[in-house]
Amino acid sequence: MSPEPVITRRFPGRSVLVTGAGTGFGAEIAVRAAQEGARVGVHYNRSRDGAEQTRSRIAALGGEAVLIQGDITSRDDIRRMVDAAFDAFDGLDVLINNVGDVARDQMTWRDITEESIDHVLDVDIKGTLLCTHEFGARMLDQGHGAIVNIGSTVVVRGSARAPQYAAAKYGIIGLTKSYAAAFAPTVRVNVFAPGFIETAATLQREDWQSGRGEQLRKLTPMGRIPGPAELAGTALFLASDDAAHMTGGFMVADGGYNMVGA
C-alpha cells in the first residue's frame, strides 16, 4: 500500500461541481475537492441517498456542499444544473464530468443489446458532450474555468467484454479535443483516464470475484488495483493551477498496466 497522501489545498475558495458524486469515484473526487478547500456541487440523478452521504462527509470536514440533481441525457436538465451551480457559487471554477455507464452487467460481447448500446452512448457521449457544452459556454462568459472529463484506458486495448463502452470512451477524447480547441485559451478541457479502480460496484462484479481482479493485479507493475480515493487527487490535478498549460490532453493513471506514450 502507498503511504497516506499529503493533501494540499489547491482549491481554496473555488467551486467544483462533480457529476455522479453520490457513489463511487465521483463521491471520492467531491470529498477530496472539499479537503482541498473547494466549495462542492454534489450532482446526482437517482442516487439521492448517496449524494446526501457525500454532503455529510463534506460537512464533517467543515466544508460546503450543495446538492444538484439532473439527468445528463437531458439538455433541459443540464441547463437547469448550470443555473443551479452558477447561482449557488456565484460562478463555477471547475466541472468534473464523472458520470458514465460501463455496461457493468455485461460479461461478454455476445450479450450486447441495442438497448445497452443506446444507453451507454447516450450517457457517456451525449451527456458528457452536453455538460461540456453548456457549462463551458457559461464559463467562457465568466472568463475562466476548467473541465475534466473522466475517460478510461479502455481506449488503449478496447473491450472484448463491452465494445460499446470502449467506443463511448473514444468519443469522449474526440469531444474533449474539440471543446478544448473551441474554448481556448479561456477554459481548459482535458481527459483523465484511470485504469481499473476497485469501487464497491467493481468488487461485486462476477468476473472480478472469479479471478479477473487477481489476474489484473499480477499484470500491473505497481502490483495492485487502487480504490477510488487514491485517484481522486490525480483527477483534480488537471483542474489545478499546476495544469494551467494543459488542454486537450489525455492523462493516464493505471499503475503502469498500459504504458502508453510516444
| Catalytic positions, written as ranges | 165
Other beta carbons within 10 angstroms of residue 111's beta carbon come to 12
Give the CA-trace dihedral at 208, 212, 216, 218, to 10 degrees: 120
Mention every residue, 6+ apart, whose C-beta is less than 8 A from residue 199: 23, 24, 25, 227, 228
AA letter at 87: D
Residue 88 CB: number of other CB atoms within 10 A?
Answer: 18
69 SS3 class: strand
Strand 187-194 relative to strand 250-253, pairing: parallel
Grid coordinates 479537503 are at which residue?
35
